[in-house]
């Protein structure tokens, strides 16, 4: 007799494709496709959305950190860091579960974001997104720091070397760098980056190569294409 084949174990993602979502799910009316709702239930519903933070410019200046106000203004971020509108964490997760980003082949830093919500399709290009966020857009061909690829390996050794020299770091250490290597002013800038501009959920005291290069660029008044380099790539 031929031996019976062993049943293969299906992954959670494979199962979710075949499962019918509960019709009484409280968020069912936000989705027009069953696979979108399944994707949200299994991959996004339990994720914690990082609470946005804003910067109080007057408080910053009252503590004699006026130089950062100037730098934020030069980077086109002065309005963005002060945004404090109402936000809805659940809707953020829903939008992410259907989000897709398409990049322009001729102009790599141009992109279009698409998502579905309330059974309608929405589309935002990089120009419109920058306008909503009050962010300046700069062309990477016009002396911008980043060239369309945000990975540290693509920034070039000279950029990383200058970033490390700025903070008196001789070489890339084997252990993680802590923000204690910075003086008071630079620690404020590091806080601003990983809490407001490019928030992360953990490791706030750690300094990544990304942090160093962005701090180096901001201090040296090198323009950053924020809609692309920080938020889309």
Q: Give dist(CA 105, CA 122) in Å, integer.
A: 21
What is Dmax (Cα atoms) for the chain? Answer: 85
Q: Give residue-wise pLDDT tens across range 70-89.
A: 889 888 888 888 888 888 88
172-186 pLDDT, tens per residue?
555 678 888 888 888
Q: Is the pLDDT of residue 149 over 50?
A: no
Over residues 155-165, the mean pLDDT reads 70
> What element of type H or E holds 123?
strand 120-125
pTM of the model: 0.72
pLDDT at 4 over 80: no
Mean pLDDT of all residues belonging to the chain: 76
Question: What interhelical angle do 34-43 and 89-97 show, nearest 10?
Answer: 120
- Find the mean pLDDT for residues 95-105: 87
Contacts of 131 (CB under 8 A, 6+ apart): none
Confidence of residue 148 (pLDDT cuts 50, 70, 90): very low
Burial 39-66 (b: 16+ CB within 10 A, else e): bbbbebeeeeeeeeeebebeebeeeebe
Tell me which residue has tokens 């062993």.
6
Which 3 state secondary structure label does DSSP give 111? strand
Q: Above 70 in pLDDT, residue 164?
A: yes
Distance CA(113)–CA(122), nearest Å, equals: 8
Quickly list DSSP for 30-85.
G-SSHHHHHHHHHHTTTPPPPPP----HHHHHHTT-HHHHHHHHHTT-TTGGG---
* Mean pLDDT, residues 29-49 taken together: 84
């Amino acid at each position: 007799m031929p031996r019976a084949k062993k049943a293969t174990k299906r992954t959670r993602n494979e199962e979710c494709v075949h499962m019918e979502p509960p019709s009484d799910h409280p968020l069912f009316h936000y989705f027009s496709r069953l696979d979108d709702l399944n994707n949200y239930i299994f991959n996004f519903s339990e994720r914690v959305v990082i609470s946005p933070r804003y910067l109080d410019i007057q408080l910053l200046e009252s503590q004699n950190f006026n130089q950062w106000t100037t730098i934020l203004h030069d980077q086109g971020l002065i309005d963005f860091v002060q945004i404090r509108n109402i936000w809805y964490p659940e809707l953020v997760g829903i939008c992410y579960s259907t989000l897709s980003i398409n990049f322009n082949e001729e102009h790599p830093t141009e992109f279009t974001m698409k998502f579905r919500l309330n059974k309608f399709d929405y589309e935002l290009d990089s120009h419109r997104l920058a306008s909503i966020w009050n962010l300046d857009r700069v062309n990477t061909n016009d002396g911008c720091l980043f060239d369309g690829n945000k990975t540290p390996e693509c920034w070039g050794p000279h950029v990383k070397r200058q970033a490390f020299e700025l903070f008196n770091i001789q070489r890339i250490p084997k252990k993680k760098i802590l923000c204690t290597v910075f003086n008071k002013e630079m620690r404020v800038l590091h806080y601003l980056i990983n809490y407001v501009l490019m928030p992360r959920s953990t490791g706030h005291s750690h300094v990544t190569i990304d942090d160093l290069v962005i701090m180096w660029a901001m201090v040296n008044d090198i323009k950053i294409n924020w809609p692309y380099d920080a938020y889309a790539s």
